């Protein structure tokens, strides 16, 4: 079991990178198939992967092979395969899309660690009152009928499908090329792909979600009148809420829910088979339009031949 020095303060992202603050803990989170996790130490240090990022980046940029290379380190191993590689991005991308059971620990400080976790019920607790307030304002303050409000909200719900797809595909699945960006990517989305059964880092925390929501509202407001933007944005938030709740249910809900069977198959294929497909979670609409639906089982078998 690795030993990590206690921290007097919250470590920065670069300290996470250089000093190996990211640990894997708690093997009680099981594979979605329900198989028992093989026995292992309760705390496993996965920080060597992150500590190797900067070494690989610096040495290979200078045309050198890193010293004291660890062949179990995907970043250094990838670096050694090519002396002209100038970025550890490919090694990180392969590593983060090789899922493992367990839960990572980001900070030694317990208060800082607690901030990185969000129970699922926080999301509806925060966003349902805001959605209700927007719908009421659309009717009372902006004179929309119930039918008109429903229509504009439905438009916002459809708009959310494209927002969800775009954020997931083009931001969350962008391949970072800088060591600090790799750590940031891991904190925001990479950790979910590496440890997909970590139930405490599955839904989006309210504070960053509010920042993104504010930006989305400004974009909607710029595209239409304020009277229309209110019910449209309510629909966007309804779509977001449905996305976060369905995402949680896919990973941790009952496998007996037939209504989630297709969504679960597609999303688990995204995690365990083909991360370059299946970017829509609450709906496969945009995946269908852009031809990024996960391969069907027969297609996956053909791809492996």
Mean predicted lDDT score pLDDT of the chain: 75
60-99: per-residue pLDDT in tens? Answer: 333 333 333 343 444 333 333 322 233 456 688 888 898 9
CA distance 232 to 47: 44
Instruction: Give the per-residue pLDDT at 299.
Output: 52
Whole-structure pTM over 0.85, yes or no? no
- Where residue 40 falls among pLDDT bands split at 50, 70, 90? very low
Judge whether 70 and 48 are in contact, CB under 8 Å. yes
Question: Closest by alpha carbon to 147, among 41, 231, 218?
Answer: 231
Instruction: Give the per-residue pLDDT at 182.
Output: 85
Phi, psi of 45 (to 5 degrees): -75, 115
- Where residue 14 falls among pLDDT bands split at 50, 70, 90? very low
CA distance 28 to 45: 17
User: Which of the pair, 22 or 221, is modelled with greater confidence?
Assistant: 221
With tokens 């099981």, the residue in question is 30
User: Which of the pair, 153 or 295, is modelled with greater confidence?
Assistant: 153
CA distance 222 to 238: 20
- Where residue 259 falls among pLDDT bands split at 50, 70, 90? confident
CA distance 105 to 49: 15
CA dihedral 92, 94, 100, 103 (to 10 degrees): 20
Share of the chain above pLDDT 70, in %: 68
Sorted by where each begins, the domain ranges of the chain are 13-115, 122-304
Question: Closest by alpha carbon to 230, among 134, 139, 131, 129?
Answer: 134
Sign of CA dihedral 28, 34, 37, 43: negative
């Amino acid at each position: 079991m690795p030993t990590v020095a206690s921290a007097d303060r919250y470590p920065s992202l670069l300290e996470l990178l250089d000093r190996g603050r990211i640990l894997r803990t708690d093997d009680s989170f099981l594979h979605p198939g329900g198989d028992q996790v093989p026995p292992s130490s309760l705390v496993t240090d996965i920080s060597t992967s992150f500590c190797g990022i900067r070494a690989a980046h610096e040495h290979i940029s200078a045309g050198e092979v890193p010293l004291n290379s660890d062949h179990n380190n995907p970043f250094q191993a990838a670096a050694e395969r090519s002396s002209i590689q100038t970025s550890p991005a490919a090694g990180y991308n392969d590593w983060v899309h090789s899922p493992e059971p367990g839960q990572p620990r980001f900070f030694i400080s317990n208060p800082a660690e607690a901030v990185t976790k969000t129970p699922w019920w926080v999301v509806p607790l925060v966003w349902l009152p805001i959605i209700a307030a927007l719908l009421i304002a659309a009717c009372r303050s902006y004179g929309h009928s119930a039918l008109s409000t429903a229509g504009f909200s439905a438009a916002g719900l459809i708009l959310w499908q494209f927002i969800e797809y775009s954020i997931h595909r083009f931001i969350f699945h962008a391949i970072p090329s800088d060591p600090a960006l790799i750590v940031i990517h891991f904190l925001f989305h990479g950790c979910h792909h590496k440890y997909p059964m970590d139930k405490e880092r599955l839904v989006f925390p309210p504070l960053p979600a509010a920042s993104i929501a504010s930006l989305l509202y400004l974009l909607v407001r710029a595209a239409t009148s304020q009277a229309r933007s209110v019910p449209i944005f309510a629909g966007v938030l309804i779509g977001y809420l449905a996305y976060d709740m369905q995402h949680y249910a896919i990973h941790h809900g009952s496998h007996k829910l037939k209504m989630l069977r297709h969504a679960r198959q597609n999303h688990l294929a995204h995690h365990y088979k083909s991360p370059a497909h299946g970017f829509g979670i609450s709906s496969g609409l945009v995946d269908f339009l852009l031809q990024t639906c996960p391969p069907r089982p027969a297609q996956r078998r053909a791809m492996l031949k």
